[in-house]
Amino acid sequence: MERFFGNRTITLYASGTAALAQAIASCAARSSASTPEAIIPAYGCPDLVAACVHACVYPRLVDVAPSRWSYDQQSLTSRLSRNTVAIVAVNLLGAGDGAAELVRLCNDRQIPLIQDSAQYLPRDTIDWAGDYIVLSFGRGKPLNLLRGGALIEPRGSCQVLSAPPADYSWKDHLLASRAAGIAFNILTRPRIYRIFSGLPGTGLGEVVYKPLDAAARLPEHTWEQVAPAFEQYRKRPSYRSDLWAPAVKEWTDFGIVALDGPGSRLPAEPLRLALLAPDRLARDALVDRLNRSGLGASPFYATDLTNVTAIPEMIKSQGDFPNARSLAGRLFTVPTHHLVDADTVRTARAVVQAWHRFRRIESARQAQAL
């Protein structure tokens, strides 16, 4: 794994969030800023904020580009200051993180670049542009071990946060067991996931800010699970873009487009296939119709970071981010895992075609009423 990541040091943490917090803290320690800030996108997982807060670094939100996944360059430039200690490049669902472009800006400004790759893990070696790389092995991530994460950093780096080894509890033994893997594979089936996620108390599908309690490291023997799992992941057949490509091409005529970003339009290794509906009303209707057919669609985060439940006031007060708000209202995802086959895609196409016919009929009725 060290060779795969350019012979850098790899440290296992209790979560990807803990690994990100350690990376941000290391960037702050390298800086002379009196009030350090880290740049993060205004749309994303609230764990981005939790990692900054735990590292005692102010999370500075930046709007995303209109209708695509990357930072809005004008907004990014205006938010940089002498207090900026890191820029976090987030790879959303495999759509790319823009690190190749951001690294030039970071080099010019002497700002460390962190690649948050929690939602993306290539099977072949690539040129990682960032100073730090963060992975997650949690539920639903590319390398899914149901827990844990990793920080990949230059050799010779030292820990800044207090990171004691995590207690290896009965819960960790359970998550590492074959039974846990079988249970997760069952829940992965869209119809069963839909039923289970609707039960109270499961927490599935909820987007809520949760503070990070500790940036704990995983014990060394965890490598006995991570290393072989990584090798198996690299040998596993990758996502077949040919299954979804005809559907995406057809849906473009309906106003539904694949999320564009610094990566390819239909990425080779997407966590889930990310699509943009024409508007929030259409997105919600599509997700509802697809899920009634058991297809496992999701609105993903469904809101920008300023409106996440329980998010700190310092995030709410940073202003309006119209592009992030628009993205949150239009984005939805469909699964790309090994259980998705040609029949699944055929059903999805039929559902979207029916939605499109209904939408055209309603538009004609409204035109006649006027």
Closest CA to 109 of 130, 82, 75: 82
| Token duo for residue 345 | 């895609």
- Asked if residue 165 has pLDDT above 80, the reply is no
Domain positions in the chain are 9-235, 241-369
Greater confidence (116 vs 205) lies with 116
149 burial level (CB within 10 Å; 0-12, 13-18, 19+): buried
**Among 27-36, 61-70, 164-173, 277-286, the least confident range:** 164-173
Q: Which DSSP string corresponds to 304-348?
A: -GGGSBT--HHHHTT---HHHHHHHHHEEEEE-STT--HHHHHHH
- Asked if residue 90 has pLDDT above 50, the reply is yes
Average per-residue pLDDT in the chain?
A: 88
Write down the pLDDT at residue 264. Answer: 56
CB atoms under 10 Å from CB of 311, counted, come to 20
List the helix and strand counts (H, then E) for the chain.
13, 10
Greater confidence (138 vs 193) lies with 138
pLDDT > 90 in the chain, percent = 71
- Asked if residue 198 has pLDDT above 70, the reply is no
- Asked if residue 179 has pLDDT above 50, the reply is no
CB-based contacts of 237-242 (< 8 A; 24+ apart in sequence)? 237/338, 238/123, 238/268, 238/269, 239/268, 239/269, 239/270, 239/336, 241/266, 241/267, 241/268
- Asked if residue 29 has pLDDT above 90, the reply is yes
Q: How confident is the model at residue 178 (pLDDT cuts 50, 70, 90)?
A: very low
Q: What is the pLDDT of residues 211-243, one digit of tens each?
A: 999 989 998 889 999 999 999 999 887 777 788
Q: What's the mean pLDDT in 343-362? A: 96
> How far from the centroid of its chain's Cα atoms is residue 258's Cα?
16
Task: Quote the radius of gyration of the chain (alpha carbons, Å).
Answer: 21
Q: How confident is the model at residue 167 (pLDDT cuts 50, 70, 90)?
A: low
Write down the pLDDT at residue 157. Answer: 72
CATH fold label, 9-235: Aspartate Aminotransferase; domain 2 (3.40.640)
Write down the pLDDT at residue 7. Answer: 87
Q: How confident is the model at residue 352 (pLDDT cuts 50, 70, 90)?
A: very high
Q: Which CATH superfamily is domain 241-369 in?
A: Aspartate Aminotransferase, domain 1 (3.90.1150.10)
- Asked if residue 324 has pLDDT above 80, the reply is yes
Greater confidence (147 vs 64) lies with 64
Write down the pLDDT at residue 42. Answer: 98
Q: How confident is the model at residue 39 (pLDDT cuts 50, 70, 90)?
A: very high
